[in-house]
Amino acid sequence: MSLLSRKFEGAPELARVLPLVVFAALTAFQGHLGKGSEYWVYLLKTVVGGWMVWELRPRLEEMRWQISWEAVAVGVAVFALWVGLDGHYPRLAELQAGAGWNPRQPLGQGSAAAWFCIVGRMAGSTLVVPPLEEVFYRSFLYRYFVKRNFRAMPFNQFHALSFIVTAVIFGLMHAERWLAAILCGLAYQGLAVRKNRLGDAMTAHGLTNFLLGLWVVWKGAWHFWS
């Protein structure tokens, strides 16, 4: 068992909260550490987040990827929802014209450096973000609102208020697309409740982000990556 994993022995809440907090804290530095920092800081937080996910596997028994037709269906549906609703509702935060996470602008349209950043972003959003967010929101927060001893609550126990509040919090953390994010949170939580495990929601989340990444690169819709 790793040193980091041993540090969280007896602290199940911290093991599920701290990785996302560290990831979010690094996000706050994107674009604020000099020119191009929005790109290298994203790659840095992906490496740090991936390392924490890997190291904490022994402590997070629910963090196991699961593939099912429901996970695939939800992942594709949420991608379609995320793209289809864009621009059709007011936002809590607006991007400036031309803004977006587009490494092709400073690094060159077809440069190896730009593609390295793009592949790194897709890997991070597909493989690192889903376990971080799903463990925090769908496993910890949803159950903690109901029971302080959250691990004693099965995933298939439906609690309407926590179901809605957790999705709203998830949505507000994605202020630019809050409505799509709330619906996204409801879909992933519903999947966890239906399957009585977290792994399908992780798979759906990863598939959504992967498809969105392909859409961003194919359509040049860089505003989805802010």
For the segment 215-224, what is each residue's pLDDT rounded down to a tens digit?
999 999 999 9
Q: How far apart are CA 31 and CA 23, in angstroms?
A: 15
Higher pLDDT, 176 or 156: 156
DSSP state at residue 32: S
Q: How far apart are CA 44 and CA 62, in angstroms?
A: 26
Q: Judge if pTM exceeds 0.85.
A: yes
Cα-Cα-Cα-Cα dihedral sign, residues 45, 220, 108, 96? negative
Tell me the one-letter amino acid at 33.
L
pLDDT in tens, 44-75: 999 999 999 999 988 899 999 999 999 999 99
Position 143 pLDDT exceeds 90: yes
pLDDT in tens, 84-107: 999 899 887 665 545 678 999 888
3-state secondary structure of 95: coil
Position 1 pLDDT exceeds 90: no
Position 5 pLDDT exceeds 80: no
Average pLDDT over residues 27-50: 93
Rama region for 66: left / alpha / beta (φ>0; ψ in -120 to 50; rest): beta
Average pLDDT over residues 142-150: 97
Residue where the block lists tokens 């379609």: 80
